Amino acid sequence: MKKLLLCIVLLSLGGCLGMPQSVQPVSDFKLDNYLGKWYEVARLDHSFERGLSDVTAEYAMRPDGGVSVINRGYSAENKEWQQAEGKAYFVNSENEGYLKVSFFGPFYGSYVVFELEKQNYDYAFVSGPNTDYLWLLSRKPDVSPEIKAEFERLAKRYGFDVDELIYVEHN
């Protein structure tokens, strides 16, 4: 029974490296420009960030050529900061915004940058392996109404449930 459960878990996690059919990762991706601190402006709700405000993600190079990931957010309910450390690696090529990220040992999930402000990398639209995972990241805690509208327009067009978006508070 334990082996069967382990196989089911591994098979379900193995499927986490896909992406929604409608989403395509950006090309001409430059990791050096992407590194640094990002603010989470909006997201679809999921258990590992539920109830968090002031959410940020910080990306830095790892000695092995991968990317160090530190996600941080404040839980008002627990009155404490929560932090998760992970690692990410490119899935195909280094000039494509398609990475696999892990916060739990050998298990990886998709991180797909499908829209990116190309000049200064001021904002990014990011998907997970399916339409249940979606983020709007920015170099500042907020973005213009035009960027929010474009994010919602594209997300809806690509099959994400924009009515369920959470806009993150930053204090």
Whole-number pLDDT of residue 9:
38
CATH number at residue 101: 2.40.128.20
| Any domain includes 52 | yes
| Any domain includes 22 | no
- Give yes or no for a contact between 67 and 87, defined as CB atoms under 8 angstroms apart: yes
How confident is residue 17, by pLDDT bands cut at 50, 70 and 90?
A: confident
Residue 8, pLDDT above cutoff 60: no
- Average pLDDT value over all residues in the chain: 91
| Any domain includes 4 | no
Whole-number pLDDT of residue 86:
97
Q: What is the DSSP string of 119-154?
A: TT--EEEEE-SSTT-EEEEESSS---HHHHHHHHHH
Residue 162, pLDDT above cutoff 60: yes
Residue 126, pLDDT above cutoff 50: yes
| Any domain includes 26 | no
pLDDT digits (tens, 9 = 90+) for 72-108: 999 999 999 999 999 999 999 999 999 999 998 889 9
Domain that holds residue 126: 31-167
Whole-number pLDDT of residue 136:
98
| Any domain includes 144 | yes
| Any domain includes 19 | no
| Any domain includes 156 | yes
| Any domain includes 94 | yes
- Residue from 127, 87, 94 nearest 108 by CA: 87
Whole-number pLDDT of residue 14:
44
Whole-number pLDDT of residue 55:
98
Give me the number of domains the chain comprises.
Answer: 1
